[in-house]
Chains A and B, each alone.
Chain A
Amino acid sequence: MLRQKIIKNIFFLAVIVLSFVLFTSLMETTSLLLGDKKADLTQKHRYSISNESLNIAENLPKRVNITLYMSKDLSAEYPELGIQSQYLLRLLNKYQAASKGKININVKSPEPYSATEYEAKSEKIRAFPDNSNTKNLYFGAVFSNNLGEKYTIPYFSIQRQNYTEYDISRILAKLSGYNKAQIGVISYGGNIMDWQAFNKIKEDYVLTELSRTSISIPKEIKTLILYAPQKVDEKLTYALDQFIMRGGNLILFIDPYAETIAQRYPYTKKNTISLLPWLNHLGIFMDENKIIQDMSDNKTNYFSFLDTQNTENLYFEINQAQINTPDEIAKPHKLSFSSAGEITVSPISSATYTKILTTSENIGTLDTNIAKTEISEKIINNLKKEKGNRAIGYLVEGWFESFYPDSIYGNISDIEILPPFVLSSLKPSKIFIFSDSDFLADTQWNAINYLKGARVYDQVPSNNNADFLLSLVDYMSNNTEMAKLRVNYLYTDDYSIADQISAKIYRKYQKEYLQKDADLRKLQKEFLDFQDAFKSKKNIMSLSKIQEYDDFIRKIHKLNEEKKVLDYQVQQEIMQKVNYVMLENMIFYPFLLLLFITIITKLYLRCKRKQEIGMLHE
């Protein structure tokens, strides 16, 4: 009896162990049979690796080692980083599968005071403390090839999650050998080299700033970025002309109203773009007295919303439908413009002109001087509504004739040191022209994003703008694999829910903001006139004037206070809305549903019971 029981127990245990073994082996077999095939049901296939990235992995010429330094406690300490690590591991596995064995992944967990931790530190992997601040955690990777080339991502931050695939693919492309070209920059907009867009270019290229009075562009420079040219020296125009004749590629930011420059020189009312005749010769035209604004619904809202906050930018965004990049350049998610101009072309037969960036059908035009000098209300009122989309970015490729009839150029004293004069293109060249120079300005976009309530680094539109410039530089430098890479928006392409709530509430108070703003401006102007009258001795100091002066100050102070109160009110309403959202969804709606189900169940059971009693009676 006892023996039978023992045998039965052993058999039962064997069944459990066997089912466990069977389960794991079945799982392994299915994963081997089915592979890593997944149907991505998200909008725009956010979690699928792009074909461009897979191509890079497939065509790797050399073996690449990826060492991922990932602390074991990452998920326990920071759950968000745990989710990010899951995404990263899956992504790396996809690269590995596509590379057919050319990518080797090594995951290391740096324990405190271990050799691995020392190694991670020496590879410049960023250490960050755990929640109790007792030890360091690591979440970075080193990419290297057999030639000793090495690139490090020190930390896979949550804020840069959308860029994970983009960053890895760029590194893999660089490890495959790329053209680390020298890129020239000539700027009329101050110290632009610190801007995000140029910092991005600096990571992958040699960026050289050239003088505005250059008489020739160095021959090592094949791509030149010319930023916001205003009064261009004739010598430089000559140098640019010859650069194009040599087959150089030019990225040009030209603007009827460059806010970045206006901020530096606020009293300059009229900017003349002296480069226009040369551009006209190349078949490119722009009316410097007219700026355009996209008047499509949502954009007008943003514009008005911004306007309430004392920024007088005619700001608009264009989406993917309005971007027509060639196959070699990644289509950005969206691009942002501020007081852009309109580009028109009169094609010359030896070149092709491609409209890359356009506005929507509903546009508004405005005189440049009004945009520069008038207050927001007047800017809005003066917008002339027109139909038909306008070009704000053109790509011109081909052969050109020189702007200069001969090489003898009187104003250049040291003519003998110049390269030989070229009358027409030796090689085809590419020119990309943007009708907005503020497209790249960090200061401009930071202000806009601050007002829009952007908190996440990835949502900063200048990133899209900067990414697009980087893609253009890749394209111009013949790094086509890199130019095709795009940023993958993992969560959504829009704003966070808090941003959406804030925008809705701000819009509600838009009129009040506008009114207060207009009142304040009017009062400030009157006050300035009043002060000027004293300076010009039109007014004489008297007791009534002192009182008037006091009144002005008091009124301005009062209006400022009222604006602060309005701000506070808006903030309070946002907080209230957030609380309501939480309360409604945590308690109100679910419990209402539960109550409804309970009532329905009770009624159903009562009906049934009645039926049963009826049947019993029968």
Chain B
Amino acid sequence: MRQLFALIKKENYTFFNGWSLWIIGGSYIFLSTFLNFFMGGFFSLSNAGLYSFFSFQNIVFIFVCPAITMKLWAEERKYGTIEFLLTQPISLSKLVLGKFLSCLCIIGFLLFISFPFWLYCTLNYNMDNLNIITTYFGCFLMGCAFCAIGCMISALSTSSAISYIGTLLALFLISFADFSRLLHLTKEQEDIYIRLQNSLNFDYHYYDFLTGQISLDNVFYFVLLSIVGIWLNIRILEYKKG
């Protein structure tokens, strides 16, 4: 456990003690609030659940999460420190978990810097706070899944840029890709395709949180996706190591 904490501490040290805090944190909050005010219709909607703010969080996270995860393994590999890390008296699974948890701390921090906006709205306008808390929970789970995928892709590449673009593409594909037109499916096939797409789609599962609803299958989706991501990350490292 102590090893895990040490690893999380080490990873977060570089984030909080450098410009990453300002660049990632600043761009996250600026992008979120910009979309909220200029595209989400914050003023014209009677959005008690801050719908205009949270409805764009999936898009913002698609851009921000790869930036958090891109250098996790890619940089270690680039600077040759991965060999050193893998020879440390710490298991591979703990190593992966530590890196993943450090990403979650950053996701938590990003959500935390949006609290003043929530506080401001609650103090000045009529808000549905339970709905907002549910959406924050959904955002955090979505962040977990995005980071797990990001960690996995970072382990595959040696360049941070490739890792960023790869994660961005993967997240975009899972969120928005629709191949039904290319595949020329029949009605029955299309129904199966839509069902399959919905079971994989981030947006589909996030929407319920956005509307203040918690269901076990949505929580399970994000948790499972994170577990699969971490597990594949371990397998990739083992493969590369071997």
A interface residues (Cβ-Cβ under 8 A, vs B): 8, 12, 15-16, 19, 22-24, 26-28, 30-31, 34, 36-43, 46-47, 72, 79-80, 83, 86-87, 90, 455-456, 459, 491-492, 494-501, 578, 582, 584-587, 589-594, 597-598, 601-602, 605
Q: Are B126 and A41 in contact (CB under 8 A)?
A: no
Q: Is B37 an interface residue (CB 8 A)?
A: yes
Q: Is B213 an interface residue (CB 8 A)?
A: yes
Q: Would A590 and B21 be within 8 Å (CB), given that A24-B200, A87-B211 are in contact?
A: no
Of A26, A456, A459, A593, the residue contacting B113 (CB under 8 A) is A593
Q: Is B93 an interface residue (CB 8 A)?
A: no
Of A72, A497, A591, the residue contacting B46 (CB under 8 A) is A497
Cβ contacts B175-216/A at 8 Å (1 or 0 each): 000101100000000000000100110011001100111111
Interface of A is mostly: helix
Q: Are A491 and B217 in contact (CB under 8 A)?
A: no
Of B22, B33, B212, the residue contacting A46 (CB under 8 A) is B212
Min C-beta distance of B15 to chain A, whole Å: 10
CB-CB under 8 A from B228, the residues of chain A are 19, 22-23
Q: Are B217 and A31 in contact (CB under 8 A)?
A: yes
Of B16, B29, B203, B213, the residue contacting A40 (CB under 8 A) is B213
CA distance A42 to B215 in the complex (A): 13
CB-CB under 8 A from A24, the residues of chain B are 196, 199-200
Minimum-distance CB pairs A-B, first 7: A492-B48, A42-B212, A589-B116, A498-B43, A590-B29, A38-B215, A586-B33
Min C-beta distance of B238 to chain A, whole Å: 9
Min C-beta distance of B213 to chain A, whole Å: 4
In the assembled complex, 19 residue pairs joining A and B whose CB atoms fall closer than 8 Å, in A order, are A24-B200, A30-B216, A31-B199, A37-B215, A37-B216, A41-B131, A41-B134, A41-B214, A42-B131, A42-B211, A42-B212, A86-B207, A491-B51, A494-B46, A496-B45, A497-B46, A497-B47, A590-B30, A602-B17
Min C-beta distance of B82 to chain A, whole Å: 18
Min C-beta distance of B192 to chain A, whole Å: 11
Q: Are A30 and B217 in contact (CB under 8 A)?
A: yes
CB-CB under 8 A from B220, the residues of chain A are 27, 30, 34
Q: Would A43 and B128 be within 8 Å (CB), given that A72-B181, A491-B47 are in contact?
A: yes
Q: Is B88 an interface residue (CB 8 A)?
A: no
Cβ contacts B74-102/A at 8 Å (1 or 0 each): 00000000000000000000000000000
Q: Are A585 and B232 in contact (CB under 8 A)?
A: no
Min C-beta distance of A457 to chain B, whole Å: 12
- Kindly identify, within residues 22 to 60 of chain B, every residue whose CB is under 8 Å from any CB belonging to chain A: 22, 25-26, 29-30, 33-34, 37, 39, 41-49, 51, 55
Interface of B is mostly: helix
CB-CB under 8 A from B26, the residues of chain A are 590-591, 594
Q: Are A585 and B239 in contact (CB under 8 A)?
A: no
Q: Would A597 and B16 be within 8 Å (CB), given that A47-B213, A582-B37 are in contact?
A: yes
Q: Are A495 and B48 in contact (CB under 8 A)?
A: no
Q: Are A492 and B46 in contact (CB under 8 A)?
A: yes
CA distance A26 to B235 in the complex (A): 20
Q: Give the number of chain B interface residues (Cβ < 8 Å).
A: 65
Of B17, B45, B113, the residue contacting A594 (CB under 8 A) is B113
Q: Is B172 an interface residue (CB 8 A)?
A: no
Using A496-B44, A497-B45, A605-B17 as known contacts, list a sample of 16 further A-B pairs with CB atoms less than 8 Å apart, ordered by residue number in A. Answer: A8-B242, A19-B228, A23-B225, A34-B217, A38-B208, A42-B128, A42-B134, A42-B211, A72-B178, A86-B207, A491-B48, A491-B49, A492-B46, A497-B121, A501-B43, A601-B21
CA distance A86 to B134 in the complex (A): 18
Q: Are A594 and B117 in contact (CB under 8 A)?
A: no
Q: Are A601 and B113 in contact (CB under 8 A)?
A: no
Cβ contacts B123-140/A at 8 Å (1 or 0 each): 011101011011000000
CB-CB under 8 A from B239, the residues of chain A are 8, 12
CB-CB under 8 A from A39, the residues of chain B are 213-215
CB-CB under 8 A from A79, the residues of chain B are 39, 55
Chain B residue at minimum C-beta to C-beta distance from A23: B228
CB-CB under 8 A from B124, the residues of chain A are 500
CA distance A498 to B221 in the complex (A): 37
Q: Are B199 and A594 in contact (CB under 8 A)?
A: no
Q: Are B55 and A43 in contact (CB under 8 A)?
A: no
Q: Are B116 and A593 in contact (CB under 8 A)?
A: yes
Q: Are A590 and B117 in contact (CB under 8 A)?
A: yes
CA distance A462 to B16 in the complex (A): 55
Q: Would A590 and B33 be within 8 Å (CB), given that A43-B130, A47-B213, A492-B48 are in contact?
A: yes
CB-CB under 8 A from A41, the residues of chain B are 130-131, 133-134, 212-214
Min C-beta distance of A31 to chain B, whole Å: 5
CA distance A491 to B242 in the complex (A): 55
